[in-house]
Amino acid sequence: MRICIVGAGYVGLTTAAALADFGHEVLCVDMEESKINCLRQGKVPIYEPGLDELITKNVKNNKLFFSSLVEESIKEYPVILIAVGTPSKDDGSSNLMFVHRVIDVIASTTNVYKIIITKSTVPPGTNEWIHKRLIEKGIDEDLFDVVSNPEFLREGFALRDLYHPNKIVFGTKTSRPIKNLKKLYYRGKAPYIFTSLTGAELIKYASNAFLATKISFANEMARICDAYEVDYDDIAKGIGTDPRIGRYFLNSGLGFGGSCLPKDLSSLKHSAVKKNVETKLLDAVREVNDTQIDLYLNKLTTELPDLTGKRITIWGVTFKPDTDDLRSSPAVMMIKKLLEKGCQVHAYDPMVQLELSGVYSHTNQYESVKNSDALIISTEWQQFLETDWAEVKSRMKGTIVLDARNCLDGKLVRKFGFLYLRIG
Ligand code: UDX
Ligand code: UDX
């Protein structure tokens, strides 16, 4: 099929590269000309394992193209896939202005049949609105089908998730586009889930809200374990063997961040309140997550009561390992709180050099701990699990290692004379 993807961000770019690799002719457009110029020179503006190679391969095979001429491109293609940003507004609702803008461009350029697929995460009712909007704009209902096709990509595993999805969700108003939709993805054994437009939107939100709930449950359990001096990992292992629970996403630590979970949790709450539905559980999930950082800071101040002027090293600034994404990163939020407490913060991350005033960003893991009073692990990069603790000991002034991702082998760290702290 000939597909135009609007939005060359994390979701748009990874999806474009994979669909081209599946054999479709794909044009990826973005309003940011600089981003498109980069891509045309073979430079990929985001880090995602395997993405560079896949883009290079499919550009070479004349399957993947890039343009910043959004309107002209949309006009030419029978399948439009929308992957523009849906950032949060102050009230937690999703800002749909970019989606609306794309829909109005589609309305002004549609004179032959088009399938309009929304991949951006949008609140329930948005795709029904899109359908109504196109009709209001005078487009005959026979000339288009709106489809909700949420993504479930994890950053750092996006291509793996595209090649090995655990499901493919399509929300439609009629069965008309289904034959074509079944040509879109290589799905392997993954089931198709066909539902209504709003059903598909809510599957996406429910998925992310459930993942967030599981993480906040893990963090609350870790707090209880801490009070009873029990190793939380034993609990996670114990309950995780039950297939009704599953060990995945039970890692306790600084809490969930990134461009999706926090944003989608707020947007779902906003959508519920709009219908006078109370969200006691979602509120609790948020509250536990929002208080995790202070919990770890309290743990630190039990050993270092006055942080003023203390030299604190932070390992990991991205919101999770294997990505360059700092969006809603708990590590960055912790750094900001340490700066507020008058600390001298030295940061090291294998992928990103944090540019934040008051922070010394290092390019060498071991240089970053020189003369430090405490070391905090805030993102569980594999590299930190393979640390040479003797080397760290020889360089640090203090002995505190605060594991804010419960990812280190505490026994090993203690063996080198460190005061190893964690929660649960
Ligand atoms: C986006 C949505 O934000 C998220 O809700 C959804 O789940 C997946 O798609 P992401 O790909 O991470 O997530 O967004 P981002 O990296 O911000 O990329 C959006 C791209 O769209 C940007 O490159 C932006 O320049 C582009 N864009 C935005 C347009 O081309 N036109 C617009 O009108 C608005
Ligand atoms: C998430 C969803 O997993 C994905 O399906 C959806 O499409 C987009 O949002 P992503 O944002 O890439 O993907 O990150 P994810 O791997 O889900 O991690 C989210 C946050 O939760 C990170 O901050 C991570 O550190 C944290 N997390 C994850 C935990 O604290 N504990 C865990 O056990 C797992």
The per-residue pLDDT for 404 is 98
Ligand 2 within 6 A of CB of 77: no
Residue 32's region, left for phi above 0, alpha for psi from -120 to 50, else beta, is beta
Q: Could you tell me the two tokens for 341?
A: 């407490």
Is 189 exposed, middle or buried, given 0-12, 13-18 or 19+ CB atoms closer than 10 A? exposed
Q: Is 153 in the pocket of ligand 2 (CB under 6 A)?
A: yes
DSSP code for 373:
S
Q: Per residue in 375-411, is it b (16+ CB within 10 Å) or e — as a string? A: bbbbbbbeebeebebeebeeebebbbbbbbbbbbebe
Assess whether the C-beta atom of 58 lies below 6 angstroms from ligand 2: no
| Residue 230 to residue 197: CA distance in whole angstroms | 46
Q: Give the long-range contacts of residues 356-361, CB within 8 A, separation 24 or more.
A: 356/332, 359/335
**Could you report the per-residue pLDDT of 86-125, keeping only the tens digit for each?**
999 999 999 999 999 999 999 999 999 999 999 999 999 9
- 238, exposed or middle or buried, with CB in 10 Å at 0-12, 13-18, 19+? exposed
The two tokens of residue 90 are: 């102050």
Can 260 be counted among the known catalytic residues?
Answer: yes
Q: What pLDDT was estimated at residue 189?
A: 83
User: Which of 77, 150, 132, 70 is closest to 105 using CA atoms?
Assistant: 70
275: burial class by Cβ within 10 Å (0-12, 13-18, 19+)?
exposed
Would you state the pLDDT for residue 188? 77
**What's the CA gap between 15 and 140, in Å, rounded?**
29
Ligand 1 centroid – CA 7 distance (Å): 5
Chain center to CA of 404: 19
Entry pTM: 0.95
Candidates 2, 4, 1, 53; CA nearest to 30 is 4
Sequential DSSP letters for 22-70: TT-EEEEE-S-HHHHHHHHTT--SS--TTHHHHHHHHHHTT-EEEES-H
Q: Is 124 in the pocket of ligand 2 (CB under 6 A)?
A: no
Listed as own residue / partner, the contacts of 69-76 with beta carbons closer than 8 Å and 24 or more positions apart are 69/29, 70/6, 70/29, 70/30, 70/31, 70/102, 70/105, 71/105, 71/108, 71/109, 73/4, 73/27, 73/29, 74/4, 74/6, 74/29, 74/102, 74/105, 74/106, 74/109, 75/109, 76/2, 76/4, 76/27
How would you classify the pairing of strands 79-82 and 114-118? parallel
End-to-end CA distance of the chain: 52
Closest ligand 2 atom, residue 153 Cα: 7
Strands lying side by side in the sheet with 114-118: 64-67, 25-29, 2-6, 79-82, 114-118, 144-148, 168-172, 192-195
Q: Report the candidate in 204, 168, 202 with the shortest Cα–Cα distance to residue 185.
A: 168
| Residues in the chain where the model's pLDDT stays below 70 | none
> With helix as H, strand as E and coil as C, how does 200-219 read?
HHHHHHHHHHHHHHHHHHHH
Which residue has tokens 């995460």? 121
Which of 6, 29, 31 has the most ligand 1 atoms within 8 A of CB, as the residue to mutate? Answer: 31
For the Cβ of 158 lying below 6 angstroms from any atom of ligand 2, the answer is no
The pLDDT of residue 186 is: 81
Which is catalytic among the residues 4, 225, 260, 407? Answer: 260
Query: Which pLDDT score is estimated for 12?
Result: 97
